[in-house]
């Protein structure tokens, strides 16, 4: 009626959504969309999830779709992999990916390799998800980043979201994918609100696995990061912009398969590269990016060696001041950029 009267209707505006709520939306929408999807893990049902990611889902979908498990990662990961082999679509939550090492045989030897070893006759459409990397004050055994660990293994897809849109779009794409996907989230981002576009509010919104996003255009240096360090890179870029240095910030989004083409195109434009990650330096994600750039056509466009910003090469200390010095900070990124640009 308003349209007939010639009134202009405004499109739904972008809204603020936390990463926690974005993940909850994705799970809710995919559980509703496909009856083969189910969620299992420690405290995911009656307790609404250790981080409240699955809040309200058990009451809505019941015991068969949202399943509390014993504290046995090897056991419930094995159940999930077996279910995926018969074309259910399990979402297996690890309370933290540090505990996924209890189930690493199931993830690597059972999930990742089965499609290849069965000559393509057995797919394993499963998602392993949960918080990854350092949280706050949880010490060495709970602070490892598994991006390089799982990114090393053929047969897996590995995604690492930063924003609420990343979280929703990548989780939905991962659930719909016919391959095993490892989704590495950041506990420290769960409560952080991000703007979610009208498009991302759709139930059919997915982000293609294997495609990076340029969060900020720039001309002087390329910053490549994933997960929480993307935010640090944007903060560093804002500071450096006031000094006349324009950084191009790339949100990697996917660790495997890696969108090296987007990074190459940016390096060709800026002639400088800095990688940022929370994981350890040796054999890390940044090391892989640097190697791929060196081996490819973009190497000839570099005006200076690439610089890596990583976590410290030590087990994570418990003391806060030491922990802060083990995790890449904005000041570390600014220092690395100035080093790359020789300023």
Q: State pLDDT tens for residues 102-160.
A: 999 999 999 999 999 999 999 999 999 999 999 999 999 999 999 999 999 999 999 99
Domain identity same for 161 and 219: no
* Within-domain flag for 3: no
Q: Which of 142, 226, 232, 272 is catalytic?
A: 142
Q: How far apart are the first and last CA of the chain?
A: 62
How many domains does one find in the chain?
A: 2
Give the mean pLDDT of the chain. Answer: 95
Confidence of residue 2 (pLDDT cuts 50, 70, 90): very low
**pLDDT given for residue 5 in this prediction:** 46
User: Rounded to whole angstroms, how far apart are CA atoms 70 and 189?
Assistant: 27
Per-residue pLDDT tens over the stretch 237-268: 999 999 999 999 999 999 999 999 999 999 99
Tell whether 2 is covered by a domain: no
Predicted pLDDT at 305: 97
73 noted as active-site residue:
yes
Which of 201, 231, 266 delimits the end of a domain? 201
Does 158 lie in the same domain as 116? yes
Residue 8 lies in a domain: no
CATH code for the domain of 292: 3.40.50.920
Among candidate residues 30, 73, 185, 323, the one labeled active-site is 73
Contacts 24+ apart (CB under 8 A), 322-330: 323/134, 323/136, 323/137, 323/143, 326/134, 327/134, 327/278, 328/229, 328/232, 328/276, 328/277, 328/278, 329/232, 330/232, 330/235, 330/236, 330/239
- CATH number of the domain bearing residue 166: 3.40.50.970
Residues 196, 217 within the same domain: no
What is the Cα 173 distance to its own chain's centre? 12
DSSP H helical ranges for the chain: 19-33, 57-61, 73-85, 104-105, 114-117, 147-151, 164-176, 229-241, 260-270, 285-295, 320-326, 330-341
Q: Please indicate whether residue 142 is annotated as part of the active site.
A: yes
Range of the domain at 50: 15-201
- Residue 142: inside a domain, yes or no? yes
What is the mean predicted confidence (pLDDT) over 53-82? 97
For position 14, what pLDDT does the model report?
Answer: 87
Q: Are residues 197 and 256 in the same domain?
A: no
* Residues contacting residue 127 through CB under 8 Å, at least 6 positions apart: 89, 90, 91, 92, 171, 174, 175, 180, 181, 182, 183
Q: Is residue 208 situated within a structural domain?
A: no
Residue 219 and residue 193 share a domain: no
> Same structural domain for residues 152 and 185?
yes
97 and 123 belong to one structural domain: yes
Which DSSP state fits 89? E
Look at residue 185 and tell me if it is in a domain. yes
Cis peptide before 306 (omega within 30 of 0): no
């Amino acid at each position: 009626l308003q349209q007939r009267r010639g009134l202009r209707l405004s499109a739904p505006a972008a809204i603020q959504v936390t990463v926690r709520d974005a993940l909850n939306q994705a799970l809710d929408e995919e559980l509703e969309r496909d009856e083969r999807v189910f969620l299992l893990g420690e405290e995911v049902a009656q307790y609404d999830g250790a981080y409240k990611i699955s809040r309200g889902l058990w009451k809505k979908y019941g015991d068969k779709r949202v399943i509390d498990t014993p504290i046995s990662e090897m056991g419930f990961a094995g159940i999930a992999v077996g279910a995926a082999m018969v074309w259910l679509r399990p979402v297996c939550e690890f309370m933290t990916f540090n505990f996924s090492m209890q189930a690493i045989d199931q993830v690597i030897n059972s999930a990742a390799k089965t499609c290849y070893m069965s000559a393509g006759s057995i797919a394993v459409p499963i998602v392993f998800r949960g918080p990854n990397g350092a949280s706050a004050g949880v010490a060495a055994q709970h602070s490892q980043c598994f991006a390089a660990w799982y990114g090393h293994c053929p047969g897996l897809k590995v995604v690492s979201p930063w924003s609420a849109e990343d979280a929703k779009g990548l989780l939905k794409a991962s659930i719909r994918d016919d391959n095993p996907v490892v989704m590495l989230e950041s506990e420290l981002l769960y409560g952080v609100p991000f703007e979610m576009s009208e498009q991302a509010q759709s139930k059919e919104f997915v982000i293609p696995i294997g495609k990076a996003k340029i969060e900020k255009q720039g001309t002087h240096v390329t910053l490549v990061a994933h997960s929480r360090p993307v935010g640090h890179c944007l903060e560093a870029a804002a500071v450096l912009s006031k000094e006349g240095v324009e950084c191009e910030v790339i949100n990697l989004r996917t660790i495997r398969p890696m969108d090296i083409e987007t990074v190459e195109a940016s390096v060709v434009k800026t002639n400088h590269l800095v990688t940022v990650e929370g994981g350890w330096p040796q054999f890390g994600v940044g090391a892989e990016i640097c190697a791929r750039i060196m081996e490819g056509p973009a190497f000839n466009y570099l005006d200076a060696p690439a610089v890596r910003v990583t976590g410290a090469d030590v087990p994570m200390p418990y003391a806060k001041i030491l922990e802060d010095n083990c995790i890449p900070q904005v000041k570390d990124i600014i220092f690395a950029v100035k080093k790359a640009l020789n300023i």
